[in-house]
Amino acid sequence: MKTAVILAVVAVALADKLAPVPLPVAILRSQQVNPDEFGAHSSDFEAENGIQFQFSGSQGATGGSNMIGSWSYLQEDGSVA
What are residue 57's DSSP bridge partners?
A: 41, 67
Report pLDDT digits (tens) over 22-80: 889 999 999 999 988 888 999 999 999 999 999 999 988 887 888 999 999 999 898 99
pLDDT at 62: 84
Indicate the domain borders of the chain.
23-81
DSSP secondary structure string for all residues of 42-75: EEEEEETTS-EEEEEEEE-TTS-EEEEEEEE-B-
pLDDT at 19: 63
What is the β-pairing status of strands 65-72 and 27-33?
unpaired
Nearest of 65, 39, 44 to residue 55 by alpha carbon = 44
